[in-house]
A and B are shown apart, each in its own frame.
Chain A
Amino acid sequence: MREKILYGAGILGTLWLVRNLYVICLVLPDETAQGAIYRNLFFHVPSWFVSFTAYFAAGLASIAYVAKRNPVADTLAVACVEVGLVFTCVGLATGSIWARIIWGIWWTWDARLTWALITAVIYAGYLMLRRAIDDPTTRAKNAAVLCIFSFVSVMITYKSIEWWRTQHPDPVLSFRTGGGTIDPAMESAVFQNMLALALLAAVMIAVRMRQEAALREVDSLRRMAHAR
């Protein structure tokens, strides 16, 4: 039953994404200043939203692990970081493509971009640390501490456009600006894509958690077999 719900949600998310693609490409008009490339916004902003939410969830899960020592919390943290890192890469790639068209360069060392890249490197380090530790309890414990530290970088990335004068565009969505900067139809498409991607991310996280749980089980069986 659980499996059916999971795959059902995955299919729903995919269909929703296809429907959004239709709206984004064929229904909405080009933007006056940027032309067709502005459509990048519908993927760039939602993927960063999803990745930051995933990192936030990973941070909460790590705090929960530190407090309760529940292995499920550790499983959730690693699943969230992996999926978050995928969306970070999507965010960096879409941003880069947009920058090539609008700024004429793939990358610039501006505060927002730099922090985003640092965040990606830090979370990649988290995954590497996990690989380097064999004992499951030590791994979960040390990874949880690193994950809590890493979240500081996410917060700096989020706030960097307010703290520094950056080349990165200012926020456009009305909950950050107070409204008036984006057409409601376009904003609705951004939010719909955000929800569709979030749904897909949740499915991926759930699938990844099941894999981790299976891995833990195999590991404990192997230990039992060795102990005999």
Chain B
Amino acid sequence: MRFARQSLRIAAKDLRAEMRTKEALNAALAFGVVILVIFSFVLDPGSEAIREMSGGLLWLTFVFAGALILNRAFARELPNDCLDTLLAAPLSGAALFLGKTLASFVLLIIVEGICLPIFGVLYDINWLLQPGLLAAVLLLATWGISVIGTVFSALTVNLRLRELMLPMLVYPIMIPALMAAMRLTTLLVTNEPISNDDWIWFRLLIGFDIIFTSLALGLVEIVLIG
């Protein structure tokens, strides 16, 4: 109970700080829209090809824009030695991590919630055909991305090449979740039924979330405190 309260407190703190400055959020949103616009030069908007690639296109946008948010998860605490103070505070590293993951998750969902309608308008795609399943895919994959991103943000927070190292390390590890999310989103956006073969992607997403959340919660104490 105490653990949950502490995590929520950290998440609320991060979200409040972000909503005041909107540093990462504005950057991620602008970047997301820029990527969506650039993709329109690669493929003919409104063509069949763009529908078939819609899942991949969307998730590439989400993770590229998301990296900006994830980068800030722990880097936000560097000025004024806030990270040291947080670590000295009477809360466990896991609670700190979970709070930061929750905050990243909410911010990523906001970015996705804004990019998705823009994508629909720009590429003339009705993405609301199977809203329930699409929401499930978005939530599951975004949680996976937030967990991995936040734990690696902690790993790389003190590096010289932080902005470079985070995507280098995070994208390959995220690939299982991304592959699943891309495949499922394409099916849902083009209103194709999810066949028996494709349910494995749902299972993969859930498995990915469970495995990496438990690994991260177990190991983050070592990363943060040593």
Contacts and interface: CB of A to CB of B under 8 A. Distances in A.
Interface of A: 66, 118, 121-122, 125, 128-129, 132-133, 137-138, 141-142, 144-146, 148-150, 152-153, 156, 163-165
Interface stretch (B32-40, B119-127, B132-140, B152-160): B152-160
B203 to A, nearest CB: 9
B27 interface: no
Contacts of A163: 200
Interface stretch (B57-65, B105-113, B171-179): B171-179
A145 B169 contact: no
Contacts of B168: 125, 128
Contact of B173 (A66, A122, A164): A122
Interface of B: 151, 155-156, 158-161, 165, 168-169, 172-173, 175-176, 197, 200, 211-212, 215, 219, 222-223, 226
A128 B156 CA distance: 12
28 contacts: A66-B222, A118-B172, A121-B172, A122-B172, A125-B168, A125-B169, A128-B165, A128-B168, A129-B156, A132-B160, A132-B165, A133-B159, A137-B226, A138-B158, A138-B226, A141-B222, A141-B223, A145-B219, A145-B222, A148-B215, A148-B219, A149-B173, A149-B212, A149-B219, A150-B173, A152-B212, A153-B173, A163-B200
Given A145-B219, A148-B219, A163-B200, 13 more contacts: A125-B172, A132-B160, A132-B165, A133-B159, A141-B223, A145-B151, A145-B155, A145-B223, A146-B155, A149-B173, A149-B219, A152-B212, A164-B200
A132 B159 contact: yes
Please classify the interface of chain B as helix (H, G, I), strand (E, B), loop, or mixed, using the class held by over half of its residues: helix
Contacts of B161: 132
B208 to A, nearest CB: 8
Contacts of A148: 215, 219
**Which of A66, A149, A156, A165 has the largest number of chain B CB atoms within 10 A?**
A149
Contacts of B156: 129, 132
Contacts, number: 58
Contacts of B175: 118
Contacts of A141: 222-223, 226
A142 B155 contact: yes
Contacts of A153: 172-173, 176
A8 B200 CA distance: 49
Contacts of B165: 128-129, 132
B212 A66 contact: no
Contacts of A125: 168-169, 172
Query: What are the 6 tightest A-B residue pairs by CB atom distance, in nearest-first order?
Result: A121-B172, A122-B172, A125-B169, A145-B219, A132-B159, A142-B155
Contacts of B151: 145, 149
